[in-house]
Amino acid sequence: MSPHRDDDPSALFGRDGRPRSRPQSQGTWQPQGQPGQGPRDYRVDEDAFDELDDFHPPNPKNPLAGAKPGLVLGTALFLGSLVALLLLIWLPVSLPGIVATGLVGLALAGLVVLFLQMPQSRSGGGDGAQV
């Protein structure tokens, strides 16, 4: 066995910079049937990956399908009235002042509905360090 380690450059090159001859020792591992090949010469069987490519992502459902009706109503009231109010501000139309007051009222009603949908008590008594 050589007194040098495999990753030691002095085992590969002499002092003059020329490569040293490396005699095959009996302690080196060689794969059977394929002498001189190592881990970098490994080839992957492509047919094995065909069996693994059977994954198809699930079809996402409609996010509103399982939502609470009160949550959808409150969100629609709040966001719809805010968008309508912003459009009325920027559009060059003249509407009575009651329209703006009504839209602000609808936004507040949407907020009230959303706050009523919040849970009344916490579920679980953990310390919050859960993933």
Predicted confidence (pLDDT) per residue in 78-117, tens digit: 999 999 999 988 888 888 889 989 999 999 999 999 999 9
| pTM check: above 0.75 | no
Q: Helix, strand or coil for residue 111? A: helix
Give the Cα separation of 121 and 38 in Å (integer).
63
Q: What single-letter amino acid sits at 120?
A: Q
Q: Helix, strand or coil for residue 77? A: helix
Which residues does residue 13 pair with via DSSP β-bridges, in sequence order?
19
Domain ranges of the chain: 69-116
Q: How far is CA 27 from the centre of its chain?
A: 47
How high is the pLDDT of residue 75?
Answer: 94
